[in-house]
């Protein structure tokens, strides 16, 4: 994917994130979930959600049972070339939260999963209707020395 296309993709993802923010908060509120923490990790060109924790914890199981419609960028082609269109997908609320978290980190920290990678936690405070992303990027440091002997 070219940089220009990837930039178009990120614009489409950010639009989807904006569309789904309130819907996700409302869906969690309907399940009486007051907080959700989605932890993720990645490196070597791969990234994934590790865990989703909820408060109260006993409502966590409901995330897989409730279905939710999300918009996602979908690459399409026409006579003028390729473009990203928004397409609706039905996912479990669990999968929608995973998608929301990974899209959020990709928008804010492009390429976070490449090379040494990174990890973090997306915290959704349903009561305050606040979403916070805490992200850590990993990198290999090198120190170069030259000496005349």
pLDDT in tens, 53-109: 999 998 888 999 999 888 887 777 777 777 777 788 899 999 999 999 998 998 899
Q: Which domain holds residue 42?
A: 3-137
99: Cβ–Cβ under 8 A, 6 or more apart, which residues? 70, 72, 91
Answer whether residue 103 is part of any domain: yes
pLDDT tens digits along 107-134? 899 889 999 999 999 999 999 999 999 9
Answer whether residue 142 is part of any domain: no
CA pair distance 13, 74, nearest whole angstrom: 10
Answer whether residue 7 is part of any domain: yes
Answer whether residue 145 is part of any domain: no
Answer whether residue 108 is part of any domain: yes
Q: 125-135 burial by CB neighbour count: b if 16+ within 10 A, else e? A: bbeeeebebee
Task: Answer whether 0.75 is exceeded by the pTM.
Answer: yes
Domains held by the chain: number: 1
Answer whether residue 12 is part of any domain: yes
Answer whether residue 147 is part of any domain: no
């Amino acid at each position: 994917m070219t940089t220009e296309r990837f930039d178009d993709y990120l614009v489409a993802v950010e639009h989807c994130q904006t569309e789904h923010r309130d819907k996700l908060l409302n869906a969690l509120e309907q399940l009486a979930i007051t907080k959700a923490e989605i932890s993720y990790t990645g490196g070597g060109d791969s990234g994934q959600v590790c865990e989703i924790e909820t408060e109260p914890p006993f409502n966590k199981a409901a995330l897989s049972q409730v279905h939710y419609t999300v918009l996602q960028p979908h690459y399409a082609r026409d006579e003028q070339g390729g473009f990203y269109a928004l397409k609706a997908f039905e996912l479990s609320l669990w999968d929608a939260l995973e998608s929301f978290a990974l899209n959020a980190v990709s928008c804010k920290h492009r390429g976070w999963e490449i090379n040494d990678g990174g990890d973090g936690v997306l915290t959704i405070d349903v009561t305050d209707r606040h979403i916070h992303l805490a992200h850590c990027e990993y990198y290999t440091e090198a120190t170069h020395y030259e000496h005349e002997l």
